[in-house]
């Protein structure tokens, strides 16, 4: 009789443990959150040099090259934009529609903002896009 009681008690304990384990496992599956992968696309900024003249549009990506032209080096003269920082558009030109690195707006809007104050005899504030000037 005692042996039958021990077997029943052990069986009851085993069943109770399995029910508890099943309940915990079911609850864990229900509360499992899906992990969402966030991919942030950061494009590298590079230096671009304005190769146009004073009358050329500084927001036209075709007016920029990866190297300055001879005689059109950046200086302390504030007549035209000389250098900008922007990502490559994939065609060897700056991406004017890219978000500016800081300060809000796009590369194009920051260039336009600075260009509106040129030419000037005093230093013109730069921003995250426009980094240097030159004489025309």
Residue from 50, 68, 46, 49 nearest 58 by CA: 50
Q: What is the DSSP letter of 99?
A: B
Rounded Cα distance between 58 and 62, Å, is 9
What pLDDT does 18 receive?
80
Q: Ramachandran region of residue 58, left (φ > 0), alpha (ψ -120 to 50) or beta? A: alpha
User: Quick one: 77 exposed, middle or buried, by C-beta within 10 A (0-12, 13-18, 19+)?
Assistant: middle
Q: Mean pLDDT of successive 10-residue segments in the chain (136 residues)?
A: 74 80 76 65 87 92 93 87 95 95 93 91 88 90
Contact of 85 with 45, CB cutoff 8 Å: yes
Model pTM above 0.85: no
């Amino acid at each position: 009789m005692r042996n039958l009681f021990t077997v029943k008690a052990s069986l009851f304990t085993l069943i109770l443990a399995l029910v508890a384990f099943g309940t915990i496992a079911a609850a864990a599956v229900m509360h499992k959150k899906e992990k969402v992968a966030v991919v942030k696309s950061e494009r590298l900024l590079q230096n671009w040099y304005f190769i146009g003249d004073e009358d050329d549009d500084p927001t036209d990506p075709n007016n920029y090259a990866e190297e300055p032209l001879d005689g059109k080096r950046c200086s302390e003269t504030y007549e035209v934009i000389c250098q900008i920082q922007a990502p490559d558009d994939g065609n060897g030109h700056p991406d004017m529609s890219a978000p500016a690195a800081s300060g809000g707006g796009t590369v194009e809007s920051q260039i336009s903002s600075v260009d509106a104050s040129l030419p000037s005899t005093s230093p013109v504030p730069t921003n995250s896009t426009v980094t240097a000037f030159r004489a025309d």
